[in-house]
Structure 1
Amino acid sequence: MTAVLSAPVTPARPVRDAPVFADRGPFIPALAAVVGSDAQVPVAAGRSVGYANLDYAASAPALASVAAQVAEALGEYASVHRGAGHLSQITTRRYEAARETVREFVRGRVDDTVVFTRNTTDAINLAAHITSGDVVVLDIEHHASLLPWCAPKDDRTRARVVTACNTIEDTLVAIDAELASQPASLLAVTAASNVTGEVLPIGRLASIAHRRGARILVDAAQLVAHRPISIVSHGIDYLAFSGHKAYAPFGAGVLIGRSDWFDAADPYLAGGGATADVDLPRGGNTAGATWHTGAARHEAGSPNVLGAVSIAEACTALAELGPEAIGFHELRLSERLDAGLARIDGVRPLQIFTDSTDRVGIAGFTVDGVAPRAVAEYLSDEHGIGVRDGKFCAHPLLKRLGHPEGAVRASFGAGTTSDDIDRLLDALASRCVTTTITRPELDEGYPA
């Protein structure tokens, strides 16, 4: 895919507000074309500016190549599976081919089952459905990687929560000790924090789990679009991620992993497509069903074909960009952002581990004396910058970091340029030298 330069960003503030950092460095172009890069948004005084999207960790914009592939699929869209019509056959082939594309992208085993779900949350809930026994999990997880294990199953709560330590090394020791203390079926971990972007050593975690007789489930929602991942090389048993965080719209996710747990569990949903045969109830007996094995067992109902097609195309596009190019692009932007934040008094970056050495394109921070929502609204209303604020569905982590009321998160990726980063830094520097404002009253819509 050819890299493209984004159009110059219109300043969001009057010309008299000169850039705060004159020595910010050379321009860094976008790595790939994304849909919406030319969007204009309203700001103060009735003006409009180019939108600076720094909310990739919530939903990344669609890659232009993904949008083109989906548009092509729409022209031949029809019912999937069991249809004899020509377009149904084309749609079914596209849908099933998407499984293979995803499996190859994450270097899955040949016999792994690939189930398309609604999103990562749905995928992890499916994993919880097929898993029996205790599950070891860290206290720093996204709610989607925490709450499914805390829900009672077989009349008991099976989650064994390990408190993360100040270092990754000590945290690995704590996980190993918990797994050694008594048998567990699964270790469930997030590959990259959605709050700080810090990356955990998945291969080492998998080795620890296997040595103690457990399997490992990896929530890779914040990793697959940023770093290479290999189910085989890293020793992963189950992997979950969402398309919408990997430049693929239409709300679909994936759970991929060893087939035996999938086939041994009852279907995730009961309905058409999951059944091989059904008998009607007779003489007071309940209806009986013979269920398929494999992915069909857990994909009852009409699937999200376009979601699967978009995920597959995003995987192909990311592979063509290459992990080295993606990593280098994000590293340059991260260094620029980190250096700028360090020079602004009152901005406090968030970090979980003192020894972390790798981070995807996510930066969490707070601003002294200013509520996270107020910071986000100021950046949007005055500068046309989109960031995330709140507790990021990671309430226990924000509490342990000392910010129970939340923080601000800037996140970026293939469509981000240095202009976006510089605009954020200038806006924050301008905010921090003005009179701080009090926190607005929370309403029911305040982000979690």
Structure 2
Amino acid sequence: MTSNFTSGDSSVSDGSLGSAALDRPLLSVVGGDLRAPLVQGGDVRYANLDYAASAPALTVVADRLTEVLPYYASVHRGAGYASQVMTSVFEAARASVSRFVGARPDDAVIFTRCTTDALNLAAGCVPADGEVLFLDIEHHANLLPWRARAHRCVEAADTVAETLARLAAALDERPVALVAVTGASNVSGEVTPLAQIVALAHSRGARVLADAAQSAPHLPLDMAATGVDFLAFAGHKLYAPFGSGALVGRRDWLDAAEPFLRGGGAVKNVSLDEVTWTTSPQRHEAGSPNVLGVVAMAAACDALAGLPAGAMQAREHLLRGRLVDGLEALGAQIFRIWDDSTETIGLATFSLDGHDPNRVAAYLSAEHGIGVRTGRFCAHPLFARKGYGREGAIRASFGVGSPTEDIDRLLDALTRYLKEGPAWEYTPSDKGWLPTPDPRVWPAWAQVNPAAGPGLSPCAAPPSLG
């Protein structure tokens, strides 16, 4: 399968990086040395294997915010020094995002709150008489917005080739305006054959939107080279968890659509009877923007773009191989969409036969200080078709700040769980499986329920069926 967003091979061999480079994180993250309390006493370095949900902030991102924060002010139209500085930084961030995704010169970069926000914005920009086509493997964010309009869902086959054939048949059945697909599955980590999908769609007069929430933190993006028409992604998965996102794409649809929000900044002129809206990107950015979130996302884009070509993919290939090999040795079922897919990002979803995934996750957190995600990962149709069950599964995900040790700790903890069982009692509740008792304490500043006692609060999270 060809690369997700690039026109050529950007991989590097493991040897070209050197074993030392592959053994250590590529970039420093805030919280990389965080200590997590254990129910049996003591604490350990927190092993964050939940990057696919929200990645930690890069240290350079936090440093950038510290540098910029004294200048914080409202952007655009401000005559003050701080406002002019922040306006310049804000628009420079737009340029950074454009470079990061390989946008065309005339593409618009619209800042949003997250990927879901960007996809809902995009849904309002498709021509009213146009139909949208998507696969049943999509995250709800790239499934639900389209269902409010003319749409068709294509069931993915067990192979990439047959899935492409089904898409081609659906496109031939009748014209569509847009094909909306994920860049990489948030369930399996498999990379979508985007270049082939773009070729199929464009040859039949349709445009393509890529949900890059999972692919942007792991793969090089090049909209101009691949021909992707629209791309959506979020800062919080891109090591900038400060409430920012972006929709990048063709101006004609964006300028013809009704403004996503109606308010100040999106207009040229307003009277009591008429409104003259401006063009993109401001057309869809009404209200005071999340300036610091945008600055953070741009800093993350620049930092990832500065990595050696192929370094991220090579390291993740080794880490995921280590993880999958270890899980298979334990008898785990590794979730896959396609039998013949070859390219993946840094995550794996799995189940252990006969073991509740939420109980396993509670054990990993409480006894080993390991954070994973459980549930159906906002991909309910895919789980239902594959017969994975309503209880969901376990997902381990990692990225540029993950040490190799985290993979080994997870495998060691699962080995102990299967051989010896938990050392603590766990009780099911409406909050998930809870260690009973739970002597761990939260930081004093995190207390939200004083009745829970001084510093005492259960740490186990409720099961996520999303």
Structure 1-normalised TM-score? 0.89
> How does 1:32-431 map onto structure 2 within 5 Å?
32-132=27-127, 133-151=130-148, 153=149, 158-280=150-272, 287-345=273-331, 347-405=332-390, 406-431=392-417
Quote the Cα distance in structure 1 between the aligned partners of 2:34 and 2:88. 35
Number of residue pairs matched?
A: 412
Structure-2 separation of matches of 1:249 and 1:143: 20
Distance 1:428 1:212 in 2: 49
1:446 maps to 2:459: no
Deviations 1:72-92 (A, max 9, x none): 110111111110001000101
- In structure 2, runs of 5+ residues without a counterpart are 1-18, 433-461
> SS of 2:23's equivalent?
coil
Question: Which residue is 1:18 aligned to?
Answer: none
Answer yes or no: is the 8 Å Cα contact 1:336–1:421 preserved in 2. Answer: yes
**CA deviation after TM superposition for structure 1 residue 403, in Å:** 1.5
Give the superposition deviation at 1:438: 9.4
- Three-state SS of the structure 2 residue aligned to 1:374 is helix
Residue 149 of structure 1 aligns with an amino acid whose one-letter code is W
Displaced runs of 4 or more, over 4 A: 435-439, 441-445
Deviation of the 1:317 alpha carbon: 0.3
- Report the CA distance between 1:288 and its aligned residue: 1.5
Q: Superposition RMSD on alpha carbons, in Å?
A: 1.6
Post-superposition Cα deviations, 1:176-213, rounded to whole Å, max 9, x if no partner, equal: 11011001000000010001100011111111110111
Secondary structure of the equivalent of 2:29? coil
8 A Cα contact 1:341 1:425, kept in partner: yes
Distance in 2 separating the partners of 1:171 and 1:99: 35
Q: Using the TM superposition, give the Cα deviation of residue 331 of structure 1 relative to its aligned residue in structure 2, in angstroms.
A: 1.0
AA aligned opposite 1:291:
W
Partner Cα distance (1:202, 1:300) in 2: 32
2:370 and 2:426 mapped to 1: Cα distance?
Answer: 21
One-letter amino acid of the structure 1 residue matched with residue 37 of structure 2: P
Q: Write the letter of the residue equivalent to 1:420.
A: D
How far 1:401 sits from its partner (Å)?
A: 2.2
Long gaps (5+) in structure 1: 1-24, 281-286
1:440 Cα offset (Å): 2.9
State the Cα distance separating 1:47 from its structure 2 match: 1.4
Q: Which amino acid aligns with 1:421?
A: I
Whole-angstrom CA distance in 1 between matches of 2:418 and 2:426: 13
For the 8 Å contact 1:370–1:439, the answer to whether it is kept is: no
User: Do the aligned partners of 1:395 and 1:404 also contact (CA within 8 Å) in 2?
Assistant: no
In the alignment, the residues of structure 2 paired with residue 230 and residue 392 of structure 1 have an alpha-carbon distance, to the nearest angstrom, of 27
**Does the aligned pair in 2 maintain the 1:371–1:439 contact within 8 Å?**
no
Separation in structure 1 between the aligned mates of residue 431 and residue 58 of structure 2, nearest angstrom:
34
- Alpha-carbon distance, 1:119 to partner: 0.1
Amino acid in the other structure paired with 2:194? I
TM-score by length of 2: 0.86
Matching residue of 2:455? none
Q: Once the two structures are superposed, what CA deviation does each residue of 1:309-345 show, in whole Å capped at 9, x if it has no partner?
A: 1111111100111341111111111111111111113
Give the whole-Å Cα distance in 2 for the aligned partners of 1:322 and 1:295. Answer: 31
Of residues 26-35 and 405-414 in structure 1, the stretch that sits farther from structure 2 once superposed is 26-35
Quick one: which amino acid aligns to residue 359 of structure 2? A
Aligned to 2:36, the other structure's residue is in SS state strand
Deviation of the 1:439 alpha carbon: 8.7
Q: Kindly tell me: are residues 435 and 422 of structure 1, through their superposed partners in 2, closer, same or farther at Cα, counting changes over 3 Å?
A: closer
Deviations 1:234-253 (A, max 9, x none): 11000000011111121100
What are the superposed Cα offsets for residues 246-287 of structure 1, whole Å, 9 maximum, x if unpaired?
11121100000000001001111110000111111xxxxxx3
**Is this contact kept in 2: 1:370–1:438, CA < 8 A?**
no
Question: 1:434: how far off?
Answer: 3.3
Q: How far is the alpha carbon of 1:167 from its aligned partner?
A: 0.4
